[in-house]
Structure 1
Amino acid sequence: MPLIEFTDKGLFCRAGNFYIDPWKPVNYAIITHAHSDHAKWGSKNYLCHTLTKPLLQARLGNNHYETMEWNETKTINGVKVSLHPAGHIIGSSQVRVECNNEVWVASGDYKVANDGISGAFEPVKCNAFITESTFGLPIYCWKHQEAVFENMRNWILANKALNKTSIIIAYSLGKAQRVLKALEDFDETIFMHGATWNMHQAIINAGISLPKIKAERVMPETSKEKLKESIVIAPPGAEGSSWLKKFSPYAIGVCSGWMQVRGNVRRKNVDGAFVLSDHADWTGLLQAIKATKAEKVYVTHGYQAVFSRYLNEKGIWSAEVKTEYGEEEEEKENAAGLAEESGKMD
């Protein structure tokens, strides 16, 4: 029997009697990171990285949380468990599980490029590696972060020259913090949508270090004059909503790995496209897998069929695994937050 099983509730370690990122309530859940598709409400006990706890509290409320530092070891029913940096978002971790000299690693979501905020990805040698494949096609190849940031800054300056507000679409947890890093040299207030602001405050209140910027929440009483030619960070649900009326004239820029494909840019009809992803690109996925020296690789959400087939063709045993992970839940969450915010603004 494999050390980690793929069940209808999530990744299950029978020997330790715990789940990793379960999508249904369980007794004991180890959470890789605080995005809503990996961290579900309803479990009795949660174990996560120290930096992930305040983010889970902000999203799931008060629960029974245990925390660990990276590379710290905990024994659960005779199974050794440790967390290792995944580089995806703040606190994101890979889960290393060891029993009877067999080691499995569930990586959750990850990226190998160090963004300066999320912690550098740490390859962990193992017998079996469970990997995502969100961008598991050769077309997805990321530019260096600083090149994307420079593009973003130039776009904002161009908008200012046209007397336009720059609205940057980015997930409230993950990309929004990286956008702040891109903007840290702008000596002005950065305005935030309520969902972005709430997560920003949760991170600040937890004592987690972020780029030094002046931030302010967009409120119903915030004057249009104050917002003129400003910089605003908002979640994906803001696109095409009535919430944007307050900022006219404005330009919209979207931060997403999906912007790598020109067809997606055309369909979204946005003014700026910034290829910024918190997931590994094609090269990063292959680099991470090679570094683990894993004998078996299980491929989950994304282009899992294509990516798994490629690994097998290259002599790496691989199998495709169906899970409920993906970005859809994150988008729903942002849309719900936006609906509430729009009601306040109208």
Structure 2
Amino acid sequence: MKPNDLVVQRPEGLYCPPGDFYIDPWRPVARAVITHAHADHARYGHGHYLASSDAQGVLRVRLGSIDLQTLPYGERISHNGVTLSLHPAGHVLGSAQVRLEHGGQVWVASGDYKVAPDPTCAAFEPVKCDVFITESTFGMPIYRWIPDEELFTGINDWWSRNAAAGRASVLACYSFGKAQRVLAGVDASIGPIIVHGAVEPLNAAYREAGVALPPTRLVTDVADRSELRRALVVCPPSAVASTWLRRFGEASTAFASGWMQLRGARRRGGYDRGFVLSDHADWPGLMGAIGATGAQRVIVTHGSIAAMVRYLREQGLEAESFDTEYGSDDLEAAVEKGGSAELPAEPPQESAP
């Protein structure tokens, strides 16, 4: 790190010294700027939260009563002399990149992002900066996503075949973001859509934000059990291994994730099918996003850090890394089982620059 850096590492998380606030901190702090509502980035226990206006509904679903200030995309505010604005990250509903300007420098912290089109959230917006903090979840050249049209043709064909055979189509994916993208992309005329109880409150938040989703029901709302044999069932991965699944009788199971690009991932999970669907950028998306910022210095976080740092240095960029606690599927899984991504119980303390 260098003197006067706008973002540095601290035990609590990524810290802006001149502004005296944190970005997606993993320990309790007085002031937290939140890029999005996934559990590894948005945790309960901070004194004050700032997030995009689009994130309000999903943050309330996940964190309940918090001191939340929201900011429309692109609107600038000043705090302790730091000009701050939030810009679409294209990851999930309300996801934002954090732009910081101070002392002649512009930094952007991306959080998680996706550059592919997605009808359930605002499209990724490249933001010019001097320093770009980027994720690297799928930061290897092997990760290249197929177009959504091809992807959802595959999902719809699988669902149609199962419905014709009288068996439910159980599609496992994370309840926040991935599930809503699945719902927005499938052909709802094939049959009824049943969702797990962890999914429906987030669906409601998406609908309240103006995102169009097809009608969905809980299994307890289905009076005619024969409907279940034609249904698409969207649920978190934990539900596939639970007794909840028995309600549907004969079923074909599938998992939607970017990790399905890896040979053997579906087999290890015990799923009948795997669909390569991610809410993160693939390798071309990461490289295109980094290039579009014009940044000459890039700081890489969670994912394939070493590979990306090495590649970016080979391209002539000044590349380094931050060690973060982002990218934890365990936290997201805990939330989907009814737990929470809670921080330690001690009250947040004011941080000195």
Tell me which residue corresponds to 2:72: 69
Tell me which residue corresponds to 1:265: 266
1:6 aligns with 2:26: no
Q: Would you say the 8 A contact 2:192–2:230 is kept in 1? A: no
Instruction: Choose the corresponding residue for 2:336, options 329, 334, 337.
Output: 334
Q: Could you say what the CA RMSD is over the residues aligned between the two structures, in angstroms?
A: 1.5
Question: What is the identity, as a one-letter code, of the residue corresponding to 1:26?
Answer: V
Q: 1:327 Cα deviation (Å)?
A: 3.6
Q: 1:254 Cα deviation (Å)?
A: 0.8
Between 103-112 and 168-177, the greater mean CA deviation after superposition: 168-177
Q: 1:188 Cα deviation (Å)?
A: 4.0
Aligned-partner Cα distance in 2 for 1:173–1:266: 24
Q: Would you say the 8 A contact 1:184–1:212 is kept in 2? A: no
Map 1:260-299 onto structure 2 (within 5 A).
Answer: 260-299=261-300
Tell me which residue corresponds to 1:340: none
Q: Would you say the 8 A contact 2:302–2:327 is kept in 1? A: yes
Aligned-partner Cα distance in 1 for 2:68–2:211: 24
Aligned-partner Cα distance in 1 for 2:82–2:187: 44
Q: Deviations over 1:210-262 (max 9, x none)?
A: 33422111228856434222111101211222111111100111110000012
Q: Would you say the 8 A contact 2:300–2:319 is kept in 1? A: yes
Q: Would you say the 8 A contact 1:33–1:92 is kept in 2? A: yes
Q: Would you say the 8 A contact 1:189–1:213 is kept in 2? A: no
1:107 aligns with 2:117: no
Question: What is the identity, as a one-letter code, of the residue corresponding to 2:88?
Answer: P
Map 1:232-243 onto structure 2 (within 5 A).
Answer: 232-243=233-244
Tell me which residue corresponds to 1:342: none
Q: Structure 1 residues 189, 162: CA separation in 2 closer, same or farther (over 3 Å shift)?
A: closer
Aligned-partner Cα distance in 1 for 2:317–2:110: 17
Three-state SS of the structure 2 residue aligned to 1:216 is coil
1:181 aligns with 2:174: no
Q: Deviations over 1:275-333 (max 9, x none)?
A: 00000001110000011111211100011111111111221111122100014211222
Tell me which residue corresponds to 1:322: 323
Aligned-partner Cα distance in 1 for 2:311–2:203: 39
Q: Name structure 1 gaps, 5 residues minimum.
A: 338-346
Question: What is the identity, as a one-letter code, of the residue corresponding to 1:35?
Answer: H
Aligned-partner Cα distance in 2 for 1:79–1:222: 57
1:96 aligns with 2:94: no
Three-state SS of the structure 2 residue aligned to 1:105 is strand
Tell me which residue corresponds to 2:230: 229
Q: 1:183 Cα deviation (Å)?
A: 2.1
Between 259-268 and 102-111, the greater mean CA deviation after superposition: 259-268
Three-state SS of the structure 2 residue aligned to 1:215 is coil
TM-score (norm 1): 0.93
Map 1:75-224 onto structure 2 (within 5 A).
Answer: 75-186=78-189, 188-204=191-207, 207-219=208-220, 224=225
Q: Structure 1 residues 223, 38: CA separation in 2 closer, same or farther (over 3 Å shift)?
A: same
Aligned-partner Cα distance in 2 for 1:222–1:50: 38
Aligned-partner Cα distance in 2 for 1:302–1:319: 13
Aligned-partner Cα distance in 2 for 1:187–1:266: 27
Tell me which residue corresponds to 1:58: 61
Q: Structure 1 residues 324, 123: CA separation in 2 closer, same or farther (over 3 Å shift)?
A: same
Aligned-partner Cα distance in 2 for 1:235–1:173: 9
Aligned-partner Cα distance in 1 for 2:213–2:28: 38
Q: Would you say the 8 A contact 2:32–2:50 is kept in 1? A: yes
Q: Would you say the 8 A contact 2:52–2:95 is kept in 1? A: yes
1:303 aligns with 2:304: yes
Aligned-partner Cα distance in 2 for 1:184–1:43: 41
Between 218-227 and 51-60, the greater mean CA deviation after superposition: 218-227
Q: Would you say the 8 A contact 2:169–2:252 is kept in 1? A: yes
Q: Would you say the 8 A contact 1:184–1:213 is kept in 2? A: no
Three-state SS of the structure 1 residue aligned to 2:285 is helix
Question: What is the identity, as a one-letter code, of the residue corresponding to 1:137?
Answer: M
Tell me the number of residue pairs that the alignment of Structure 1 and Structure 2 aligns. Answer: 335
The percentage of counterpart residues that share the same residue type is: 45
Q: 1:203 Cα deviation (Å)?
A: 2.7
Q: Structure 1 residues 288, 161: CA separation in 2 closer, same or farther (over 3 Å shift)?
A: same
Q: Would you say the 8 A contact 2:159–2:190 is kept in 1? A: no
Q: Would you say the 8 A contact 1:188–1:214 is kept in 2? A: no
